[in-house]
């Protein structure tokens, strides 16, 4: 484990939005927003010596368990955004990481993520082996509301199936967390995405899915709320809740 020169417990990182990350209207895709947030979190972990490479010495990796994103505005092509991130808590196998997105001096996105330490051989959670005391923990939160319980124990409409492909997998050899969101958003009314009608969304990861798994997408629409599940063998692996403006 090595800690980078210039490491600080709060990281600010600038990103320029490129056209590959945007919808046809020129605004950042929700999936690419999540990718940038995770890249920023990964960079901070790498600078602090608790990255995937550091953890793999002990067959460990960070996996995302929950994610809440609150949006006041989305950036567009060529915008330069600043993402600020810090650790709220880190105990045993669990950690809450906060992230904020700024366009100039204005905060446009708040995000809180809940991570678990995962043994890549046993595929089970376990306590983080690496030291992390050099990360100062901050009580400040990045979202107005904390994680909520997504109600997916209700009758839902089938929206199709998906076969997990190589392009869905990440370095931990399971479907990347953003891919679940992508599968669900591909079934959303186009006007909701293009007209930026999503006020906030929350994701809950329950079980991993792997190469060639066949998953079912289900949806339940209510007033200003859309709930999705991704199921394998009739068991919920992922739940998504969209709150609409």
* C-alpha span between 41 and 34 (Å, rounded): 11
Give 1's pLDDT tier (boundaries 50, 70, 90).
Answer: low
- What does the DSSP assignment read for 81-135? EEEEEEEEEEETTEEEEEEEEEETTEEEEEEEEEEEEEETTTTEE----S--TTS
Structure tokens that stand for 234 in this block: 């009739």
pLDDT of residue 74: 98
Q: Which helix (H) or strand (E) holds 239?
A: strand 235-244
User: Which residue(s) pair with 157 in the sheet?
Assistant: 219
Work out the average pLDDT over 16-33: 98
Domains within the chain, CATH numbers bracketed: 1-147 (3.10.129.10), 149-245 (3.10.129.10)
Give the tens place of pLDDT for each residue, 183-222.
999 999 999 999 999 999 999 999 999 999 999 999 999 8
pLDDT of residue 48: 96
What burial class does residue 223 get, using C-beta atoms within 10 Å of its C-beta: 0-12 exposed, 13-18 middle, 19+ buried?
exposed
pLDDT of residue 119: 95
Share of the chain above pLDDT 90, in %: 94
Alpha carbon 10 to chain centroid, angstroms: 19
Q: 26-35, 36-45, 145-154, 213-222: which has the minimum mean pLDDT?
A: 145-154
pLDDT of residue 154: 85
CA max distance for the chain: 53
pLDDT of residue 16 exceeding 90, the answer is yes
pLDDT of residue 11 exceeding 90, the answer is yes
Give the tens place of pLDDT for each residue, 125-145.
999 999 999 999 999 999 999
Q: Please give the model's pTM, rounded to 2 decimal places.
A: 0.95
Give the tens place of pLDDT for each residue, 74-128.
999 999 999 999 999 999 999 999 999 999 999 999 999 999 999 999 999 999 9
Mean pLDDT in the chain? 96
H helix and E strand count, the chain: 4, 11
pLDDT of residue 223: 87
């Amino acid at each position: 484990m090595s800690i980078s020169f210039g490491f600080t417990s709060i990281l600010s990182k600038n990103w320029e939005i490129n056209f590959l990350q945007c919808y046809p209207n020129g605004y950042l895709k929700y999936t690419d927003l999540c990718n940038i947030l995770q890249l920023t979190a990964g960079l901070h972990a790498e600078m602090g010596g608790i990255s995937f490479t550091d953890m793999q010495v002990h067959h460990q990796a960070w996996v995302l368990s929950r994610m809440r994103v609150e949006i006041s505005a989305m950036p567009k092509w060529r915008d330069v955004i600043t993402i600020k991130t810090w650790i709220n808590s880190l105990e045993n196998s669990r950690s809450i990481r906060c992230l904020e997105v700024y366009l100039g001096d204005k905060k446009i996105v708040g995000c809180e993520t809940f991570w678990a330490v995962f043994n890549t051989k046993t595929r089970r959670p376990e306590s983080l082996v690496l030291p992390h005391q050099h990360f100062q923990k901050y009580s400040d939160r990045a979202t107005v509301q904390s994680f909520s319980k997504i109600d997916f124990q209700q009758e839902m409409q089938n929206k199709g199936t998906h076969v997990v492909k190589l392009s869905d997998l990440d370095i931990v050899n399971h479907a990347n967390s953003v891919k679940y969101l992508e599968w669900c958003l591909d079934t959303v009314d186009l006007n909701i995405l293009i007209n930026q009608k999503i006020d906030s969304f929350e994701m809950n990861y329950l079980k991993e899915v792997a190469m060639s798994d066949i998953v079912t997408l289900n949806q339940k629409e209510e007033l200003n709320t859309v709930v999705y599940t991704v199921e394998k063998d009739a068991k919920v692996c992922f739940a998504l809740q969209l709150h609409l403006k």
